[in-house]
A and B are shown apart, each in its own frame.
Chain A
Amino acid sequence: MKGKNWWERSLLLWNLLFCLLLAARISLLAANRFPYPGQTHKLKNGLTIILSPGSYFPIVALAVGYRVGPLYEKPEQAGISYLMENLMFQGSQNVGRMQHIRYIQRVGGVLNVLTSYDRMIFYQSLPSHHLPLVFWLESDRMARLSLTRSAIQREIMAIVDEINFRHSRDPYLEYEELFNRLLFPQFPYYLPLYGTKNNLSSLSPREIRQFYTRFFCPRNAVICVTGNFDEKTTLALFQKYFSSIPGGSPPSLELPSLENQQFQKVERTVGKETIPSPAIFLGFPLYTLQSKELPVLHLIEYILLHGQSSRLQKRLLVKERVVLRLSGGLETRGQVGAFKFFLSSTNATALARAKRILWQEINKLKSEAIKEAELTKAKRLYEKDFLQNFLTASSRAVTLIDYFFSGKSVTAPLEELKKIQAVTPSDIAGIMNRYFTNNYILVQVEIK
């Protein structure tokens, strides 16, 4: 009897162990399948690490995200984030000016930076055997950026030139800036991503160094490695290159609340002789935006604007052919946002017609429930774009950092897709009626 109990118990234990191993194996397999979820780690100095191994090709991507951008700027420092973005390529203690780019390109890699209102993500994709190189480069500019007076002066001049060039190339840019000021009346929400030249020349090297020390430090950063790499070796590289950098004490984001902002409809007509064609900017403020509303707003983007069979593209560009350019969509700046439209037409009559159609389509989506087939189409297009974000190692690294900053799950990114799948026609109508109201900003640009 005793022997049988022992045998049964041991069989039970073995079964349990087998089940545990099987579950571990299944979860391991799931982790190594598309979209390759991330696992987070943290160094003692506060640096957050996301590892997402998995790639068909022998490549790796490393992205470094910092919580910084125009929303973190003070009025007297407006434009400093964009200046810092440029300075991050001007060399550090052991890496010469522009050499970061050269080192990456020399081994066949590619690199770029993605900036938004409250985050800046530097990323590079390169053959996997060169992973230590990118650790060396990124740690050097996080630890000891060269912020010499001459480099600062040179970059300020380059930015002023660039802003002037942007304005000379895009005749609508000054009106877009006005549109943003009307839509987001409070500082710093209306600041452009590409910086502003007004305050740049008055910034002292000391202020810039302080800004760098406060924001470009481990505690304010997230680094994501994706692709074909060994986790243990990579964690050792983090330890070697990043653990000795002081964590820093980044400030928290303190933004004015727009929740009680008195908002009234504004219609403004502007223009000049050199405008190539008349245009309108139309925007609906989203001051009380909640995160659960974002999936619905994303789908509204697809229904109205994305894809050749979206309502506005179909009517304005294909059927009626009354617009030359059509763009827009959801734009978030911290906890607030706006839904924007931009249309330009060959002449004022065509633009007036285009404007009528735009309002018709907005009102139709408010008053008539969208059909399931159309909603499904929008969801599938969204799904494709969502999957594309995880397809290459560098886009996955950037997306996972973006998810981390936005409070989305990096360990289960497919959860975001599920939120989209759950949107119903009544959700669409609800959001349309809540936000697409008579409280809008319209800037009409005419040839004068």
Chain B
Amino acid sequence: MRAKEKSYYSVFFFLLTVCLSLFLAPQGFPQEKFRKSPPSPFPLPLLKLNPVESTTLTNGLKVAVFSQKNLPLTHIELIIMAGERHSPDSLPGLATMTTRMIGRQTRQFSQEKIQETIESLGGNFQAQTYLDYSRITLEVLAEYTDEALALLKQMILWPSFNQRSFDSLKREIYYELVRKSVNPEFLAKRLLFQLLFADHPYHKIAFSRDDIRRIQLKDVKDFFTQLYLPNNSQIIFIGDLDLKSAAKKTSHAFFTWKKQKLIPSTVPSPQPAVKMKIGLIDLPQRNDVTIFLGNLVFPQSWAETYAYSVLSHILGGTPYSRLFLRLREMKGYSYYVFSEMEILKNCALFTIRARVRPEVLEESLQEILAVIREIIVNKKIANYELEQAKSFLIGRLPVELESLDNLAFRLTSMNIYGYGNEYWQKYYSNIMSLTPDDVFQVGQKSSLLTPVITLTGNKEVILQNLKSLDIDLYDKNGKFLYTLRKGEKK
């Protein structure tokens, strides 16, 4: 009898437990234990990427291939070492004008015909200029690689620099600059380049509408003749082809492109800002302030470059970084705040960009500098922060490389700045071996606490809220106007 009672009780309690758990479970079914916390990842797989193979043709044109089996498209990049730093001092913007003339017209083809030919190869075309080089990109269906190279040959070997195309391009770039003249980020970044690289050829990237007006067709032709040479260029392929076939195709298309003597060009090492400086461009219609804050850093090895990457990530790489959490989430000063690092020849540019409320401009600047000070002067980063940064940097690389355009950009940088194939192979191990000391040391070596700061926004409001610093005023073309001493009004 007792045994029977006991079994009734156990059935009753079992049913009660089931009913209670069903009732208490939010969506009407019980939750398994494993759902309570994130699962562990699988072991980190190796980043096994094909090496970039390269060769140099007899005319000096370097051919590099990143082979990807079964890729149905071919991505072709022609890199010419004719960046904005190569523009003559009197003609900033010339490198950009020259690159953008490519593909406008050739001796055989009108612009319309070129465009039609590209699209009939299932392709697209871009021509862009950076600080150190220019980049002409053609991406087509893989079966039309030869046709794409034939078209590229037309553009490079037989361009037709006629006055009509030139005038039309000049108008186009001029109006692009007019449109950008209300863009606070564009203006602040351009002024930052202008001030940081004041005595260095890189300052020419900050060209203005007046500079564009000065450029003549003859200047473009001369620049092209001097620098668009096979021995000053390289061609990079991404696609289902090997080096042998890429070299054969390139040689077939470009064997008449003649090697010529190059005027040697060296890049002087730029100097970092050693004293804080503030530049302002007045945008009276804005009710916020855009801040660009930056300085040059000089990594001496890959280990140091990666340490700077970690530093940048922890400072402001994501919405969960220190700057974002402090300025936006905790203080409510900014709409956004991020940091970035861009590798250049002989240096790297470290920038922080933010958009803040004008009434807390001074506090925002102080807070940004305080966060930098904490990380490079006061205290080494915590181990967990370092591990999170490593996890991000290791994870983001393959995700980024999946896009052909990103991959091409990375390959170009590898070639131009001499990363070498070990860049891929050692990427994970180089990141993994970083310690909080490494990050602290590069931070201490840097001049991030004496940055150049550029601001765009309503001058009157900015001056009311930034009384403790001298401010240099510039117009939208980057022309210096006057200096306002601490708290002075004009």
Contacts and interface: CB of A to CB of B under 8 A. Distances in A.
A pairs with B: yes
Contact of B112 (A109, A213, A309, A381): A309
Interface stretch (B87-95, B116-124, B273-281, B466-474): B116-124
A135 B399 contact: no
A422 interface: no
A34 B112 contact: no
A129 B392 contact: no
B402 A393 contact: yes
Given A94-B37, A139-B35, A228-B45, A108 B71 contact: no
Contact of A108 (B31, B38, B119, B395): B395
A133 B140 CA distance: 36
B27 interface: yes
Given A106-B391, A246-B29, A129 B42 contact: yes
Closest 9 CB pairs of A and B: A108-B395, A108-B396, A380-B122, A384-B122, A132-B39, A127-B395, A57-B398, A377-B120, A129-B42
Nearest to A139: B35
A340 B342 CA distance: 42
Contacts of B418: none
B403 to A, nearest CB: 6
Interface in B23-48: 26-29, 31-32, 34-48
A244 B72 contact: no
A136 B401 CA distance: 26
B119 A381 contact: yes
B44 A126 contact: no
A185 interface: no
Interface in A2-57: 33-35, 55-57
Interface of A: 33-35, 55-59, 93-94, 102-103, 105-110, 125-133, 135-137, 139-140, 143-144, 213, 228, 240-241, 244-246, 307-309, 314, 318, 373, 376-377, 380-381, 383-384, 387-388, 391-393
Nearest to B391: A107
Contacts of B68: 56
B120 A373 contact: yes
B119 A377 contact: yes
Contact of B116 (A127, A143, A213, A377): A377
B312 to A, nearest CB: 15
A58 B47 contact: yes
Interface string B374-418: 000000000000001001111111110111100000000000000
Given A94-B37, A384-B141, 13 more contacts: A58-B47, A93-B26, A93-B31, A105-B318, A105-B392, A108-B394, A127-B44, A129-B41, A131-B42, A133-B38, A133-B39, A318-B112, A383-B141
Contacts of B34: 240
A94 B69 CA distance: 42
Given A376-B120, A387-B73, A94 B399 contact: no
A157 to B, nearest CB: 17
Contacts of B124: 384
B315 to A, nearest CB: 16
Contact of A144 (B31, B37, B46, B391): B31
Interface of B: 26-29, 31-32, 34-49, 68-73, 112, 115-116, 119-124, 140-141, 318-320, 388, 391-399, 401-404
A127 B31 CA distance: 28
Given A106-B388, A108-B394, A384-B123, A93 B47 contact: no
A246 B30 CA distance: 11
A4 B180 CA distance: 87
B392 A106 contact: yes
Given A58-B45, A240-B34, A136 B399 contact: no
B43 A110 contact: no
A441 B49 CA distance: 54
A140 B402 contact: no
A309 B27 contact: no
9 contacts: A34-B70, A56-B402, A108-B396, A129-B43, A130-B41, A132-B41, A213-B27, A377-B116, A391-B73
Contacts of B72: 34-35, 387
Nearest to B45: A58
B140 to A, nearest CB: 8
A136 B38 CA distance: 7
Contacts of B123: 384
Given A132-B41, A132-B42, A387-B73, A127 B318 contact: no
A245 B31 CA distance: 9
A308 B397 contact: no
B310 to A, nearest CB: 13
Nearest to B36: A94
A127 B398 contact: yes
B399 A126 contact: yes
A363 B395 CA distance: 53
A128 B119 contact: no
B35 A136 contact: yes
B403 A392 contact: yes
A121 B32 CA distance: 26
Contacts of A130: 41-42, 395
Contacts of A308: 115, 119
Contacts of A94: 35-37
Contact of A383 (B40, B122, B403): B122
A244 B31 CA distance: 9
Given A34-B71, A94-B37, A106-B320, A57 B119 contact: no
A246 B43 CA distance: 32
A57 B402 contact: yes
Given A58-B398, A376-B120, A309 B388 contact: no
B51 to A, nearest CB: 14
A413 to B, nearest CB: 12
A380 B141 contact: yes
Contacts of B42: 128-132
Contacts of A139: 35
A144 B30 CA distance: 11
A383 B398 CA distance: 26
Contacts of B388: 106
A57 B406 CA distance: 13
Contact of B395 (A35, A107, A136): A107
Nearest to B73: A387
